[in-house]
Structure 1
């Protein structure tokens, strides 16, 4: 069996597919990841031992520009470019495949769905957060220029409107491209690509799926890629030279709205007598002076690092939130876009940290949030919740995918959104 895992997005999109790829390989499945060929992803997949089939272009430069000009972006035009280019890249990578699993930016998953139909390959859509999947329990994502109408509070009505919004933003580009490759037009682009039964690759404690008649979902747990890299000796020496420091890093977020976020964070930490480990990330954070209470890192093993921190300040990406939760470390989430406010809210609801109010921190707002994150009661709760987080989500998904391929274009898993335990029992058998 050969499986293609497809995405176009940041590390939070790529690394889970690497984790799933490793699990599939352990089950004897030949697996390739089609993803942006940014150097960090090339190195990540090499470490994982999963082959990379390059997407149409690297993602970092485009993503940084796109987030800086998000309100002015011509979504239909950009969608058309990605769909056409990704269709070619995914088509080449999918040759001889028995299954395509797609996630990431919507135009990329749209291209993967067309590849699956064009070449008769079964297809699975996967989401990393409940927020993106239609449900009566939460509102849909808002796009620039297409905000939710005032006065409408019924989630079912908003998800109905979401179909029209996504058709307007992506439908023309999607159907125009399908016409060029000999495929018929699709009336409801969102549901065609999301399918009636997607996988949900997040932890059921951290991001629980609630039963709804809008979608049947199989939740597997997060697809975690084990990181065996040792921490650098000088970093270990810094950590052991004093009280546990606080990690500050915003991953793939450029942080355009907060140019002085490193200075604010370091000053807020110093005011509370805390040391810091500062991560560069896509925001290109840097130390503000040569003080010996701060340490600077680039790409690092967060799985090994977070458990040695007093707290973790981050942007609320699905992967970083899961890693911090598994580590049992208090979190201070400064959410920026997309699903990040959802994860910030979940961290606060679980009592394992605090959600910063808004995407732009100040000295005062970060200091107030830090007081909550550093409270001993928060750490105690974080340690308790850490013991409940699944470690086997990637293997659960791998076994489901191996057992369930269909020749009808999508994969029926045979167990719904409230049947996590049922799914696990089937796998164990």
Structure 2
């Protein structure tokens, strides 16, 4: 198994042999770039996209070398979003099937921005694929030349689709209304399996469970893996908003260090927790809007407030608003007053009712893993087109 250096998979090798692959997360994209990406995109779209895609081209040769050393005699090659273009070329070289794991609707579609005409949104996605290919074409051409493959004339997504690649959609169709119908023409090549999670327990789970049992369900704040710029201001904002609403607050710190900050009695700060257990025991959840965390809050059946910063986060915020199970706001535009107002809104009874209804349509974690495993088994050994 190839995994990002310093990832949980690379540290937990009981079930598989983990090989470092690609750069560390913070070497790939800097925190500051992620926080300011959408501002940059609005000011200079082409420049922002080039900066976003530059690491793909920079690390392309290294990923190709690693894959070539390990994929020979493999029955199948699987890849995540990053470097799927490099993996596609290697799969073509060895003539083996390819599975791509998408935690977000990556291919052009008309559902990501429901406030805009579907045709316009779909065309924008198609343009983005062509721009990505042009921005990384030198790396693509160089790899294909080394492998003795024909020079590419179309983006990687077109080439892998022609070879019969399976693009597993690791999220639920219900979370993006209309997408399953729009993509029905792709048949079994874009199956929806639901979010994949290992459901690991953590050392904080018992302590958190005791705190949860000692009072009414809290509002859970999952801050994500990217460190917050000002932890003290964040705690002040959260504690003030919760106090105004008469709620308890549980902050799941993730990548932020809160150890030097005084925490009020009605707020508890912990590190990594089991989101499935904690979210389900909360009255509402506030998080950054990443694909995995969004799926966890939807499965929990509780209202969600997404305070987004970058990447796919605003898109998931749009979808939750569309489903009427939550709301979204840019994190940099959030203060104590807006947080209290947004929470007051999502705590209305109709949001809880809608959240429970969507939760009932979500694929269970066990079924998601089973569906994905079945796809791997049925695809392995199958000759690519």
Which band: TM-score by shorter chain? 0.7 to 0.9
Hey, what does 2:75 align to over in structure 1? 98
Task: Say whether residues 1:187 and 2:148 are aligned partners.
Answer: no
CA distance in 2, matches of 1:76, 1:403: 33
Hey, what does 2:2 align to over in structure 1? 34
Cα displacement string for residues 8-57 of structure 1 (whole angstroms, at most 9, x for unaligned residues): xxxxxxxxxxxxxxxxxxxxxxxxx31112153434x447x343222133
CA distance in 1, matches of 2:148, 2:232: 48
CA distance in 2, matches of 1:355, 1:183: 45
CA distance in 1, matches of 2:205, 2:137: 48
Q: 1:202 aligns with which of 148, 171, 193?
A: 171
Task: Say whether residues 1:56 and 2:22 are aligned partners.
Answer: yes
**Structure-to-structure mapping, 1:37-186, within 5 angstroms:** 37-43=5-11, 45-46=12-13, 49-65=15-31, 66-67=33-34, 71=40, 74=51, 77-105=54-82, 108-130=83-105, 132-138=106-112, 154-186=120-152
Change in Cα spacing, 1:53 to 1:362, as seen in structure 2 (3 Å) is same
TM-score, normalized by length of structure 2? 0.82
Could you tell me whether the CA contact under 8 Å between 1:326 and 1:386 is conserved in 2?
A: yes
2:131 is paired with a residue of what secondary structure? helix
Deviation at 1:394? 2.2
Larger helix proportion, structure 1 or 2? 2
Q: 1:334 aligns with which of 307, 312, 326?
A: 307
Could you tell me whether the CA contact under 8 Å between 1:201 and 1:221 is conserved in 2?
A: yes
Change in Cα spacing, 1:181 to 1:68, as seen in structure 2 (3 Å) is farther
Task: Say whether residues 1:378 and 2:348 are aligned partners.
Answer: no
Change in Cα spacing, 1:100 to 1:256, as seen in structure 2 (3 Å) is farther
Cα displacement string for residues 341-396 of structure 1 (whole angstroms, at most 9, x for unaligned residues): 22112222222222225653111211111002222332233223222211112211
**Structure-to-structure mapping, 1:289-368, within 5 angstroms:** 289-356=262-329, 359-368=332-341
Change in Cα spacing, 1:170 to 1:287, as seen in structure 2 (3 Å) is same
Q: 2:181 aligns with which of 211, 219, 223?
A: 211
Aligned length: 364
CA distance in 1, matches of 2:350, 2:98: 45
Change in Cα spacing, 1:376 to 1:139, as seen in structure 2 (3 Å) is closer
CA distance in 2, matches of 1:218, 1:346: 19
CA distance in 2, matches of 1:326, 1:199: 19
Any stretches of 5+ residues in structure 1 without a counterpart?
Answer: 1-32, 141-147, 411-429
Change in Cα spacing, 1:327 to 1:286, as seen in structure 2 (3 Å) is farther
Deviation at 1:202? 1.0
Change in Cα spacing, 1:61 to 1:254, as seen in structure 2 (3 Å) is farther
CA distance in 2, matches of 1:292, 1:58: 37
2:333 is paired with a residue of what secondary structure? coil
Deviation at 1:84? 0.9
**Structure-to-structure mapping, 1:274-289, within 5 angstroms:** 274-284=247-257, 288-289=261-262
Change in Cα spacing, 1:376 to 1:51, as seen in structure 2 (3 Å) is farther
* More divergent stretch after superposition (183-192 vs 212-221): 212-221
Cα displacement string for residues 219-271 of structure 1 (whole angstroms, at most 9, x for unaligned residues): 22222323355754332232222222211123234455998334322322222
Deviation at 1:127? 1.4
Any stretches of 5+ residues in structure 2 without a counterpart?
Answer: 41-47
Hey, what does 1:402 align to over in structure 2? 377
CA distance in 2, matches of 1:284, 1:93: 38
CA distance in 2, matches of 1:313, 1:271: 16
CA distance in 2, matches of 1:284, 1:63: 20
Hey, what does 1:413 align to over in structure 2? none
Task: Say whether residues 1:247 and 2:247 are aligned partners.
Answer: no
Instruction: Kindly report the root-mean-square deviation, in angstroms, between the aligned alpha carbons of the 2 structures.
Output: 3.2
